[in-house]
């Protein structure tokens, strides 16, 4: 009888000990199994999307998806676009995002207005990036994430390529000295040439092109004379041309009348 009671007590002690051991193991699990050293991981369906993906185009680049780890917060990132990509005018759509571009016009750093919380799937989007001028296969080598309270982390994405295709591209940016695409000379005297004002015409073209100017409106009454380099046959690529505008109104022009002349620039591939 006494041996049975002893055995029962032993089994009870063993059960209590096992329960205590299990509880201890549960409490120590976070110690025995610490969180991963990498805050950010690349999801299985990760890809780089470029829209539009035509040469020369100003495009939106989306890199997704990434995922933050346990207890880690991503506050920003840095990446470098491949050669012949112009990110000088890059923007980030997130509210409060601060974007800086290095002197190479390819390395972009973004400080996120809203950091990425732990255990969150997210994508990177950068807009107004000018695609390479040559069709082909390209890749962003890596992305370095800035993490709150710990070191930066660099992820290699060099094998996630994207394609740029050839397509006719043409854009012309006109910059005037006054608002509203205007050259405003104010009040001027007849018979006296004004000081010149400059208008620049920046053209990006995938092929050779021709620039022409057409004067209209009150160009004759104002004695408008336009000279400079924004005219004639030009080669493919990105270049800026400058024109000088001078007014010498004749004595036959009615005074005290607001006059407007027009100059229409046309670029044709």
Partner 1 sequence: MKKAVVLALAAMMLLGVAGAAFADSVTHFGAPVAGKQVASGPVDVKAQVNPKISLTITTPDDPQTVDFGLVDPATTYTKSVTLAVKSNKAWTMQAVESGDAAITDNLTLTAPATVFGANYGLKGEWSGTDTYTLNMPWTVEAGVPYTASVLYTVTQ
Question: Is the CB of 142 or the CB of 181 nearer to partner 1?
Answer: 181
**Contact with partner 1 (CB under 8 A) among 35, 136, 191, 208:** 191
**Contact with partner 1 (CB under 8 A) among 18, 117, 165, 264:** 264
CA 163 to chain centre: 18
d(CA 136, CA 162): 8
Closest distance of CB 216 from partner 1, Å: 9
Cα-only R_g, the chain: 33
Name which of 63, 49, 66, 42 is nearest 117 in CA terms.
66
Binding residues for partner 1, total number by CB under 8 A: 55
Residues numbered 114 to 173 that lie near partner 1 (CB under 8 A) are 168-173
Q: In Å, what is the CA distance from 198 to each residue of 185, 187, 230?
A: 12, 18, 11
213, 231 Cβ separation under 8 angstroms: yes
Using rule CB under 8 A, residue 267 touches partner 1: yes
Q: In Å, what is the CA distance from 23 to each residue of 10, 28, 106, 169, 252?
A: 20, 9, 54, 68, 103
Closest distance of CB 150 from partner 1, Å: 40
Q: Which stretch binds partner 1 (CB under 8 A): 21-29, 69-77, 144-152, 253-261?
A: 253-261
d(CA 211, CA 102): 33
Q: Which stretch binds partner 1 (CB under 8 A): 62-70, 94-102, 116-124, 214-222?
A: 214-222
Using rule CB under 8 A, residue 177 touches partner 1: yes
**Contact with partner 1 (CB under 8 A) among 61, 81, 162, 245:** 245
232's tokens: 């004639």
Question: Is the CB of 64 or the CB of 217 nearer to partner 1?
Answer: 217
Binding site for partner 1 (CB under 8 A): 168-191, 194, 199, 205, 207, 217, 219, 222, 224, 245, 247, 249-269
């Amino acid at each position: 009888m006494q041996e049975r009671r002893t055995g029962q007590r032993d089994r009870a002690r063993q059960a209590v000990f096992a329960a205590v051991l299990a509880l201890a193991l549960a409490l120590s699990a976070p110690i025995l199994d610490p969180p991963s050293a990498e805050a950010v991981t690349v999801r299985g369906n990760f890809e780089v999307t470029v829209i539009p993906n035509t040469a020369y185009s100003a495009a939106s680049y989306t890199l997704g998806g990434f995922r933050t780890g346990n207890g880690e917060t991503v506050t920003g990132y840095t990446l470098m676009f491949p050669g012949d990509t112009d990110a000088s005018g890059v923007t980030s759509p997130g509210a409060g995002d601060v974007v800086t571009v290095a002197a190479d016009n390819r390395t972009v750093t973004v400080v996120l207005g809203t950091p990425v919380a732990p255990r969150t799937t997210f994508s990177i989007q950068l807009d107004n990036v000018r695609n390479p001028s040559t069709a082909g296969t390209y890749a962003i080598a890596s992305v370095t994430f800035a993490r709150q309270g710990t070191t930066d982390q660099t992820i290699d994405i060099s094998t996630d390529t994207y394609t740029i295709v050839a397509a006719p591209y043409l854009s012309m940016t006109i910059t005037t000295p006054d608002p509203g695409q205007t050259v405003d000379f104010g009040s001027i005297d007849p018979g006296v040439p004004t000081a010149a004002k400059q208008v620049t015409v920046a053209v990006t073209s995938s092929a050779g092109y021709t620039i022409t100017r057409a004067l209209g409106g009150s160009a004759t009454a104002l004695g408008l004379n336009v000279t400079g380099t924004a005219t004639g046959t030009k080669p493919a690529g990105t270049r800026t041309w400058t024109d000088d505008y001078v007014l010498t109104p004749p004595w036959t022009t009615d005074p005290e009348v607001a006059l407007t002349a027009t100059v229409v620039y046309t670029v044709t591939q």
